[in-house]
Protein backbone atom coordinates (compact mmCIF):
# COMPACT_ATOMS: atom_id res chain seq x y z
CA UNK A 1 0.00 0.00 0.00
CA UNK A 2 1.18 3.59 -0.34
CA UNK A 3 1.22 3.86 3.48
CA UNK A 4 2.67 7.35 3.57
CA UNK A 5 2.06 6.40 7.18
CA UNK A 6 -1.42 5.75 8.41
CA UNK A 7 -2.35 9.39 8.88
CA UNK A 8 -1.38 10.12 5.31
CA UNK A 9 -3.55 7.35 4.06
CA UNK A 10 -6.47 9.60 4.71
CA UNK A 11 -4.87 11.51 1.92
CA UNK A 12 -7.84 12.80 1.49
CA UNK A 13 -7.41 14.79 4.63
CA UNK A 14 -4.11 15.66 3.11
CA UNK A 15 -1.84 18.06 4.97
CA UNK A 16 -1.57 21.57 3.62
CA UNK A 17 1.59 22.59 1.84
CA UNK A 18 1.61 25.81 3.82
CA UNK A 19 0.99 29.35 2.74
CA UNK A 20 1.60 30.67 -0.72
CA UNK A 21 2.77 34.14 0.26
CA UNK A 22 4.12 36.04 -2.63
CA UNK A 23 2.72 33.66 -5.26
CA UNK A 24 1.04 36.46 -7.17
CA UNK A 25 4.28 38.38 -7.41
CA UNK A 26 6.17 35.30 -8.53
CA UNK A 27 3.62 34.52 -11.20
CA UNK A 28 3.70 38.09 -12.44
CA UNK A 29 7.48 38.09 -12.56
CA UNK A 30 7.84 34.84 -14.46
CA UNK A 31 4.70 34.84 -16.59
CA UNK A 32 5.91 37.05 -19.42
CA UNK A 33 9.18 35.16 -19.72
CA UNK A 34 7.73 31.69 -19.82
CA UNK A 35 8.05 31.14 -23.55
CA UNK A 36 11.52 32.65 -23.63
CA UNK A 37 12.72 30.52 -20.73
CA UNK A 38 11.31 27.33 -22.18
CA UNK A 39 12.68 27.97 -25.64
CA UNK A 40 16.21 28.35 -24.32
CA UNK A 41 15.97 25.20 -22.27
CA UNK A 42 17.41 22.02 -23.75
CA UNK A 43 15.04 19.79 -21.76
CA UNK A 44 13.96 16.63 -23.54
CA UNK A 45 14.99 15.51 -26.99
CA UNK A 46 11.79 16.58 -28.70
CA UNK A 47 11.28 19.88 -26.87
CA UNK A 48 11.16 21.92 -30.07
CA UNK A 49 8.35 19.93 -31.64
CA UNK A 50 4.63 20.29 -31.15
CA UNK A 51 1.78 20.32 -30.60
CA UNK A 52 1.80 17.75 -27.79
CA UNK A 53 -0.93 15.86 -25.97
CA UNK A 54 -1.25 12.89 -23.63
CA UNK A 55 -4.40 11.27 -22.25
CA UNK A 56 -3.81 10.27 -18.65
CA UNK A 57 -5.47 7.67 -16.42
CA UNK A 58 -8.14 10.13 -15.27
CA UNK A 59 -9.30 10.30 -18.86
CA UNK A 60 -8.03 13.87 -19.05
CA UNK A 61 -5.94 15.00 -22.01
CA UNK A 62 -3.01 17.25 -21.21
CA UNK A 63 -2.18 19.56 -24.12
CA UNK A 64 0.60 21.97 -25.03
CA UNK A 65 1.69 23.75 -28.18
CA UNK A 66 5.05 22.01 -27.90
CA UNK A 67 6.53 18.97 -26.18
CA UNK A 68 7.02 19.86 -22.51
CA UNK A 69 10.61 20.42 -21.41
CA UNK A 70 10.16 22.12 -18.03
CA UNK A 71 8.74 19.07 -16.30
CA UNK A 72 7.94 18.82 -12.59
CA UNK A 73 7.11 15.39 -11.22
CA UNK A 74 6.71 13.26 -8.13
CA UNK A 75 10.18 11.92 -7.40
CA UNK A 76 9.36 8.31 -8.33
CA UNK A 77 7.93 9.43 -11.65
CA UNK A 78 11.01 11.58 -12.25
CA UNK A 79 13.22 8.56 -11.55
CA UNK A 80 11.29 6.45 -14.06
CA UNK A 81 11.42 9.15 -16.74
CA UNK A 82 15.16 9.50 -16.10
CA UNK A 83 15.61 5.82 -16.86
CA UNK A 84 14.02 6.53 -20.24
CA UNK A 85 16.21 9.55 -20.92
CA UNK A 86 13.65 12.21 -20.04
CA UNK A 87 14.88 14.68 -17.43
CA UNK A 88 12.76 16.84 -15.13
CA UNK A 89 13.45 20.26 -13.63
CA UNK A 90 11.68 19.90 -10.31
CA UNK A 91 10.57 17.09 -8.01
CA UNK A 92 8.39 16.67 -4.94
CA UNK A 93 8.14 13.78 -2.53
CA UNK A 94 10.90 11.84 -0.69
CA UNK A 95 14.05 12.91 -2.54
CA UNK A 96 16.78 13.38 0.06
CA UNK A 97 17.54 11.47 3.24
CA UNK A 98 18.51 13.28 6.43
CA UNK A 99 22.19 12.95 5.50
CA UNK A 100 21.57 14.56 2.11
CA UNK A 101 21.85 11.40 0.05
CA UNK A 102 19.35 10.30 -2.58
CA UNK A 103 16.25 8.65 -1.16
CA UNK A 104 15.47 5.12 -2.35
CA UNK A 105 12.52 6.59 -4.28
CA UNK A 106 14.85 8.82 -6.28
CA UNK A 107 16.38 5.88 -8.13
CA UNK A 108 19.30 6.99 -10.30
CA UNK A 109 18.33 10.66 -10.31
CA UNK A 110 21.14 13.13 -9.73
CA UNK A 111 19.31 15.00 -7.00
CA UNK A 112 21.82 17.86 -7.16
CA UNK A 113 20.47 18.75 -10.60
CA UNK A 114 16.78 19.07 -9.74
CA UNK A 115 14.86 21.62 -7.71
CA UNK A 116 13.25 19.94 -4.71
CA UNK A 117 9.87 21.55 -4.07
CA UNK A 118 9.11 19.45 -1.02
CA UNK A 119 10.75 16.46 0.59
CA UNK A 120 7.97 15.40 2.94
CA UNK A 121 4.23 14.83 2.90
CA UNK A 122 2.34 18.12 2.65
CA UNK A 123 5.34 20.09 1.38
CA UNK A 124 5.13 21.76 -2.03
CA UNK A 125 6.84 25.14 -2.51
CA UNK A 126 4.57 26.94 -4.95
CA UNK A 127 6.93 29.88 -5.39
CA UNK A 128 9.78 27.61 -6.48
CA UNK A 129 7.35 25.71 -8.68
CA UNK A 130 6.20 28.87 -10.47
CA UNK A 131 9.80 30.06 -10.87
CA UNK A 132 10.57 26.92 -12.90
CA UNK A 133 7.94 28.04 -15.47
CA UNK A 134 6.68 24.44 -15.61
CA UNK A 135 4.92 23.17 -18.69
CA UNK A 136 3.96 19.77 -17.24
CA UNK A 137 3.13 18.37 -13.79
CA UNK A 138 3.15 14.57 -13.38
CA UNK A 139 2.37 12.27 -10.48
CA UNK A 140 0.99 8.86 -9.68
CA UNK A 141 -2.48 8.22 -8.24
CA UNK A 142 -3.30 5.83 -5.39
CA UNK A 143 -7.08 6.14 -5.55
CA UNK A 144 -9.85 6.14 -8.13
CA UNK A 145 -10.70 9.78 -7.44
CA UNK A 146 -7.82 11.18 -9.50
CA UNK A 147 -5.82 12.49 -6.52
CA UNK A 148 -2.29 13.34 -7.61
CA UNK A 149 0.09 11.75 -5.13
CA UNK A 150 1.97 14.24 -2.92
CA UNK A 151 0.20 17.23 -4.47
CA UNK A 152 -1.39 18.75 -1.33
CA UNK A 153 -5.14 19.02 -1.61
CA UNK A 154 -5.25 22.28 0.34
CA UNK A 155 -2.93 24.07 -2.08
CA UNK A 156 -3.89 22.21 -5.23
CA UNK A 157 -5.83 25.13 -6.71
CA UNK A 158 -2.86 27.47 -6.32
CA UNK A 159 -0.54 24.86 -7.85
CA UNK A 160 -2.84 24.37 -10.83
CA UNK A 161 -3.17 28.14 -11.20
CA UNK A 162 0.46 28.25 -12.30
CA UNK A 163 -0.90 26.88 -15.56
CA UNK A 164 1.03 23.68 -16.29
CA UNK A 165 -1.14 20.81 -17.56
CA UNK A 166 -1.22 17.79 -15.27
CA UNK A 167 -0.84 14.07 -15.93
CA UNK A 168 -1.80 11.30 -13.52
CA UNK A 169 -0.60 7.71 -13.88
CA UNK A 170 -2.74 5.30 -11.86
CA UNK A 171 -1.06 2.82 -9.55
CA UNK A 172 -4.32 1.82 -7.90
CA UNK A 173 -5.95 -1.62 -8.08
CA UNK A 174 -4.12 -2.95 -11.14
CA UNK A 175 -1.12 -5.07 -11.92
CA UNK A 176 2.35 -3.58 -12.26
CA UNK A 177 2.55 -4.22 -16.00
CA UNK A 178 -0.17 -1.66 -16.76
CA UNK A 179 1.40 1.44 -15.15
CA UNK A 180 4.79 0.29 -16.49
CA UNK A 181 3.39 0.47 -19.99
CA UNK A 182 1.70 3.79 -19.32
CA UNK A 183 4.93 5.34 -18.05
CA UNK A 184 6.73 4.12 -21.14
CA UNK A 185 4.03 5.71 -23.31
CA UNK A 186 4.38 8.98 -21.42
CA UNK A 187 8.17 8.92 -21.83
CA UNK A 188 7.78 8.28 -25.54
CA UNK A 189 5.42 11.24 -25.89
CA UNK A 190 8.06 13.38 -24.17
CA UNK A 191 10.75 12.44 -26.66
CA UNK A 192 12.22 9.20 -25.30
CA UNK A 193 13.62 6.70 -27.80
CA UNK A 194 11.65 3.65 -26.71
CA UNK A 195 13.00 1.44 -29.50
CA UNK A 196 16.60 1.41 -28.29
CA UNK A 197 18.57 -1.61 -27.12
CA UNK A 198 18.74 -0.44 -23.49
CA UNK A 199 14.99 -0.39 -23.03
CA UNK A 200 14.57 -3.64 -24.95
CA UNK A 201 17.09 -5.34 -22.68
CA UNK A 202 15.44 -4.00 -19.55
CA UNK A 203 12.03 -5.19 -20.71
CA UNK A 204 13.39 -8.64 -21.52
CA UNK A 205 15.00 -8.81 -18.09
CA UNK A 206 11.63 -7.93 -16.55
CA UNK A 207 9.85 -10.61 -18.59
CA UNK A 208 12.48 -13.20 -17.69
CA UNK A 209 12.17 -12.25 -14.03
CA UNK A 210 8.39 -12.66 -14.21
CA UNK A 211 8.82 -16.13 -15.69
CA UNK A 212 11.31 -17.00 -12.95
CA UNK A 213 8.95 -15.80 -10.21
CA UNK A 214 6.07 -17.76 -11.70
CA UNK A 215 8.22 -20.89 -11.78
CA UNK A 216 9.42 -20.38 -8.21
CA UNK A 217 5.88 -19.89 -6.91
CA UNK A 218 4.70 -22.98 -8.76
CA UNK A 219 7.57 -25.09 -7.43
CA UNK A 220 6.95 -23.97 -3.83
CA UNK A 221 3.24 -23.20 -3.52
CA UNK A 222 3.31 -23.70 0.25
CA UNK A 223 5.76 -20.84 0.87
CA UNK A 224 3.72 -18.09 2.50
CA UNK A 225 4.77 -14.47 1.90
CA UNK A 226 3.82 -11.50 4.09
CA UNK A 227 4.16 -7.87 3.00
CA UNK A 228 4.82 -5.68 6.02
CA UNK A 229 5.80 -2.19 7.09
CA UNK A 230 7.09 -1.07 10.47
CA UNK A 231 6.44 2.06 12.52
CA UNK A 232 7.15 2.78 16.16
CA UNK A 233 3.81 1.55 17.44
CA UNK A 234 2.27 -0.39 14.57
CA UNK A 235 3.18 -3.23 12.25
CA UNK A 236 1.23 -2.98 8.99
CA UNK A 237 0.29 -6.14 7.09
CA UNK A 238 -0.65 -5.35 3.51
CA UNK A 239 -3.42 -7.06 1.63
CA UNK A 240 -2.51 -8.26 -1.85
CA UNK A 241 -5.23 -6.24 -3.56
CA UNK A 242 -4.86 -2.60 -4.66
CA UNK A 243 -1.02 -2.52 -4.69
CA UNK A 244 0.41 -2.88 -8.20
CA UNK A 245 3.36 -5.05 -7.15
CA UNK A 246 1.43 -7.42 -4.89
CA UNK A 247 -1.42 -7.81 -7.39
CA UNK A 248 1.09 -8.75 -10.07
CA UNK A 249 3.05 -11.12 -7.85
CA UNK A 250 -0.19 -12.80 -6.81
CA UNK A 251 -1.17 -13.20 -10.48
CA UNK A 252 2.18 -14.95 -10.98
CA UNK A 253 1.24 -17.42 -8.26
CA UNK A 254 2.81 -16.03 -5.09
CA UNK A 255 1.01 -17.24 -1.95
CA UNK A 256 0.39 -14.16 0.19
CA UNK A 257 -0.82 -13.71 3.74
CA UNK A 258 -4.28 -12.20 3.33
CA UNK A 259 -5.91 -10.15 6.11
CA UNK A 260 -9.67 -10.46 5.97
CA UNK A 261 -11.62 -7.92 3.90
CA UNK A 262 -13.50 -6.79 7.01
CA UNK A 263 -10.21 -5.93 8.74
CA UNK A 264 -8.77 -4.23 5.66
CA UNK A 265 -11.88 -2.09 5.33
CA UNK A 266 -10.66 0.27 8.06
CA UNK A 267 -7.73 1.32 5.84
CA UNK A 268 -9.66 1.48 2.60
CA UNK A 269 -8.53 -2.03 1.70
CA UNK A 270 -4.79 -1.49 2.02
CA UNK A 271 -3.54 -3.00 5.26
CA UNK A 272 -4.22 -4.35 8.74
CA UNK A 273 -2.77 -2.63 11.81
CA UNK A 274 -1.13 -4.90 14.36
CA UNK A 275 0.40 -3.97 17.67
CA UNK A 276 3.91 -5.30 18.17
CA UNK A 277 2.51 -7.66 20.78
CA UNK A 278 0.38 -9.25 18.05
CA UNK A 279 2.93 -9.20 15.24
CA UNK A 280 2.91 -13.01 15.22
CA UNK A 281 -0.77 -13.17 14.22
CA UNK A 282 0.10 -14.60 10.79
CA UNK A 283 2.49 -17.38 9.89
CA UNK A 284 4.85 -16.44 7.10
CA UNK A 285 7.90 -18.06 5.57
CA UNK A 286 9.12 -14.94 3.76
CA UNK A 287 8.55 -11.35 4.85
CA UNK A 288 8.79 -8.45 2.42
CA UNK A 289 9.47 -5.24 4.35
CA UNK A 290 8.77 -1.67 3.24
CA UNK A 291 12.16 -0.13 2.37
CA UNK A 292 11.02 3.50 2.18
CA UNK A 293 12.56 6.00 4.57
CA UNK A 294 9.16 6.57 6.18
CA UNK A 295 9.32 3.03 7.57
CA UNK A 296 11.55 1.54 10.25
CA UNK A 297 13.94 -0.88 8.57
CA UNK A 298 14.32 -4.51 9.77
CA UNK A 299 17.82 -3.98 11.18
CA UNK A 300 16.46 -1.20 13.40
CA UNK A 301 13.46 -3.07 14.79
CA UNK A 302 14.11 -3.77 18.46
CA UNK A 303 10.82 -5.46 19.36
CA UNK A 304 11.40 -8.92 20.80
CA UNK A 305 8.23 -10.23 19.17
CA UNK A 306 9.66 -9.33 15.76
CA UNK A 307 12.94 -11.07 16.44
CA UNK A 308 11.08 -14.24 17.38
CA UNK A 309 9.16 -14.49 14.12
CA UNK A 310 10.18 -17.71 12.31
CA UNK A 311 10.91 -15.91 9.03
CA UNK A 312 13.10 -13.38 10.84
CA UNK A 313 15.00 -16.09 12.73
CA UNK A 314 15.49 -17.93 9.43
CA UNK A 315 16.86 -14.82 7.73
CA UNK A 316 14.06 -14.86 5.19
CA UNK A 317 13.31 -11.13 5.12
CA UNK A 318 13.69 -9.08 1.94
CA UNK A 319 13.05 -5.47 0.95
CA UNK A 320 9.94 -4.22 -0.82
CA UNK A 321 9.20 -0.80 -2.28
CA UNK A 322 5.41 -0.27 -2.16
CA UNK A 323 5.91 2.59 -4.65
CA UNK A 324 7.94 0.93 -7.42
CA UNK A 325 9.84 3.18 -9.80
CA UNK A 326 7.92 2.53 -13.00
CA UNK A 327 10.69 1.59 -15.40
CA UNK A 328 11.50 -1.94 -16.49
CA UNK A 329 15.05 -1.39 -15.28
CA UNK A 330 13.89 -0.75 -11.72
CA UNK A 331 11.03 -3.25 -11.57
CA UNK A 332 12.91 -6.30 -12.85
CA UNK A 333 15.05 -6.61 -9.68
CA UNK A 334 11.91 -6.60 -7.53
CA UNK A 335 10.73 -9.77 -9.24
CA UNK A 336 14.19 -11.31 -9.18
CA UNK A 337 14.61 -10.71 -5.45
CA UNK A 338 11.25 -12.26 -4.59
CA UNK A 339 11.88 -15.20 -6.91
CA UNK A 340 15.22 -15.86 -5.23
CA UNK A 341 13.67 -15.58 -1.78
CA UNK A 342 11.01 -18.18 -2.62
CA UNK A 343 13.48 -20.45 -4.39
CA UNK A 344 15.76 -20.55 -1.34
CA UNK A 345 13.11 -20.35 1.38
CA UNK A 346 12.48 -23.09 3.89
CA UNK A 347 9.27 -23.55 5.81
CA UNK A 348 9.71 -21.32 8.81
CA UNK A 349 7.55 -22.94 11.41
pLDDT in tens, 183-211: 999 999 999 999 999 999 999 999 999 99
- The residues, any chain, with a CB within 8 Å of residue 150's CB and separated by 6 or more, are 4, 74, 92, 93, 118, 121, 124, 139
In 3-state terms, what secondary structure has residue 317? strand
- What pLDDT is recorded for position 50? 67
In this structure, what DSSP letter does residue 284 have? -
CA distances from 79 to 12, 94, 102 (A): 25, 12, 11
CA angle 76, 74, 2 (to 5 degrees): 65
Mean pLDDT of 253-280: 96
Mean pLDDT along residues 127-141: 98
Q: Can you tell me the mean pLDDT for 83-110?
A: 97
- Which H or E element spans position 236? strand 234-238
Q: Which of 1-10, 58-67, 244-253, 310-319 has the lowest mean pLDDT?
A: 1-10
pTM of this structure: 0.87
Q: Are 252 and 279 in contact (CB under 8 A)?
A: no
Amino acid sequence: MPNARATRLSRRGILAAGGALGLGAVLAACGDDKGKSSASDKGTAAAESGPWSFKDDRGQTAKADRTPSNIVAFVGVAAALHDYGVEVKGVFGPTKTKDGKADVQAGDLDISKVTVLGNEWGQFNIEKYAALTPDLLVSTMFDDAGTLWYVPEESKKKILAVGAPGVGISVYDRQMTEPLQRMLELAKSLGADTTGAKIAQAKKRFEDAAARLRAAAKAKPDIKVLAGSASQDIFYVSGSNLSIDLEYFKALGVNFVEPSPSVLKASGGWFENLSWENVDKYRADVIMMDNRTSAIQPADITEATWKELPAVKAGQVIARNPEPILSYDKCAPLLEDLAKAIETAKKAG
